[in-house]
Structure 1
Amino acid sequence: MERKLIALDLDGTTLNAASQLNSATIQTMQRLQAAGHIVSIITGRSYQGSQHIYDDLHLTSPMINFNGSLGHLPHQSWASEYQFTLNKAVVLALVKYREQLGINQIIAENKTSTMTAGQDIVAGKFFPEIADSPRLTPETLTRNPNSLVLLVQLDRRSAIVDWINDHFGEVVDVGVWGGPDAILEVTSKGVHKAKGVAYLADYFHINRQNVIAFGDEHNDLEMLQYAGLGVAMTNGTDAIKSIADDVTTYDNDQNGVARYLTHYFGMAE
């Protein structure tokens, strides 16, 4: 069989409902990597928030963080590392008008740093790395971040999206997280997970038809459309399932990705 690039979203896909890896998932990825396939994490998470998962899977491949804004090789310097960043002016405008707009907390992240302004009770659930993070101010923000996450008041969400699009729509995209929490993600214009996957496919000389991607949410859409085989989780959104080439039989709590790949590659369970 030709070498495949297997692109894994983490939350709601490769990870179970407790945001953990099941042993079957670890074993399956190990076997595929040993067989010569490229297994790569493609996540909206920061590097700090995903490094332990990369290590637990014992991967040797590059990883894509911040939904395509950062591509790097963990624990090593990689000559092909890339990053897309947001202009500081966008960040500082949001910091300035944060309370007025109804933004509870702003989280600006790079590969190795996290800064925050404001406070929101759900932030720690998604961003454990913010616990001791420095304050985000015009003085401390010395470089353009890869990613900006806004925890907003739910009834103000659409107005905030409109405000950002009105002021900075030519240079940024705003994504709305699924789920009950009102979270917005601001990225450099035109950057999404498919950019990262395409970059890796090109780097490893893997034809698009040999890319298998798994996801469950809106931020996986372009990646699943790009892949030769885009697989939605059975626990995924209706929108994702409607554009996918296939849907897993089992959900993320039942090792859905591992079981799908075991079947696909004809491996004994």
Structure 2
Amino acid sequence: MNQHLIALDLDGTTLNNKSALTAETIKTLRAAAAEGHIVSIITGRPYRIARHIYDQIGIKTPMVNFNGALTHIPHEAWDKEYAVELTRELALDLLDHQQELSIKTITVEDKFHVWANHPTKDLPEFLPDHLTKDQLLTHHNLNEDPIALTIEYQPGEEQKIIKAVNQKYGDFV
């Protein structure tokens, strides 16, 4: 048998229009893995909202999250795991200047945590619609470099944010 890598995107491909796996898809992917193929999820989604899909399929292969910024094997310590991080400084700088940059919501994540300046009802599957006190994005609560940062801004204001980030952080972002 020739072993193949089956790389799965989730949204618009592996998941149905209700963002769920069908029984047929689960059966097919499990059969491919049982035959010795490498079935791997590669998604822009954060780990926190892709983990249940990985577990439903029942695979034990590497998973890629945050559009390639995190590669790991869920539920295992893996010596090849890596994360491309942003800086805590960048996230907190945007938080400090959110009013002048017309930023509505800032959501910051690492592999296991999510912080935001406030809950939002926009995109509830992806952005937190409720926060505990320790998930509130503050200088005190964010004590590590995050992997991902999502900004919701006032329409038409994206160039202002891009210019501010480019001026201060140049090629880093």
Q: Which has a greater percent of helix?
A: 1
Counterpart check, 1:145 vs 2:146: yes
Instruction: Look up the equivalent residue of 1:138 and give its one-letter code.
Output: H
CA deviation vs aligned residue, 1:142-189 (integer Å, no higher than 9, x gap): 1100111111222212332232223223111xxxxxxxxxxxxxxxxx
Mapped contact 1:105–1:116 kept (Cα < 8 A): yes
Q: Which amino acid aligns with 1:141?
A: L
CA contact under 8 A between 1:63 and 1:71: conserved in structure 2? Answer: yes
In structure 1, the residue matched to 2:130 is: 131
Does residue 22 of structure 2 align to residue 30 of structure 1? no
Residue 2 of structure 1 and its aligned partner are, at CA, apart by 2.3
Matches within 5 A, 1:197-208: none
1:180-191 matches, within 5 Å, as: none
Does the 8 Å contact 1:123/1:151 carry over to 2? no
| 1:13-92 aligned within 5 A | 13-92=13-92
Q: Equivalent residue for 1:99?
A: 99
For structure 2, list consecutive stretches of 5 or more residues without a partner in the other structure.
none
Instruction: Confirm or deny: 8 A CA contact 1:104 1:119 kept in the other structure.
Output: no
Farther-moved stretch of structure 1 (118-127 vs 152-161)? 118-127
TM-score where L is the length of structure 2: 0.91
Could you tell me how far apart the structure 2 residues matched to 1:123 and 1:105 are?
A: 12
Q: Deviations over 1:199-257 (max 9, x none)?
A: xxxxxxxxxxxxxxxxxxxxxxxxxxxxxxxxxxxxxxxxxxxxxxxxxxxxxxxxxxx
The residue correspondences of 1:207-226 to structure 2 (distance < 5 A) are: none
- Aligned-residue offset at 1:123: 4.0
Tell me the CA shift for residue 54 of structure 1. Answer: 0.5
Q: In the alignment, residue 154 of structure 2 is paired with which amino acid? A: Q
Instruction: Specify the alignment match of 1:248 in structure 2.
Output: none
Find the residue that maps to 2:86 and give its secondary structure.
Answer: coil
2:8–2:42 contact (8 Å) kept in structure 1: yes
Aligned counterparts of 1:25 and 1:166: Cα–Cα separation in 2: 46
Q: Distance in 2 between matches of 1:160 and 1:79?
A: 37
Code of the aligned partner of 1:44:
G
What CA distance in whole angstroms lies between the structure 1 residues aligned with 2:12 and 2:163?
A: 28
**Which deviates more from structure 2 when the two are superposed, residues 98-107 or residues 162-171?**
162-171
Match of 1:165 in 2: 166
Contact map agreement 1:14 1:21 (CA 8 A) in 2 = yes
| RCO comparison, higher one (Cα < 8 Å, 6+) | 1
Root-mean-square deviation over aligned CA pairs? 1.6
> Can you list the C-alpha shifts for 1:20-60, whole angstroms capped at 9, x where unaligned?
11112111111111111111111111111111111111111
Kept after mapping to 2: 8 A contact 1:124/1:131 = no
Aligned partners of 2:118 and 2:131 also within 8 Å: no
Residue of structure 2 in register with 1:10 after alignment: 10
Q: TM-score, normalised on structure 1?
A: 0.60
Query: What secondary structure is seen at the aligned counterpart in 2 of 1:101?
Result: coil
User: Structure 1 stretches (4+) deviating beyond 3 angstroms?
Assistant: none
Preserved CA contact (<8 Å) 1:102 1:156:
yes
Identity of aligned residues (%): 39
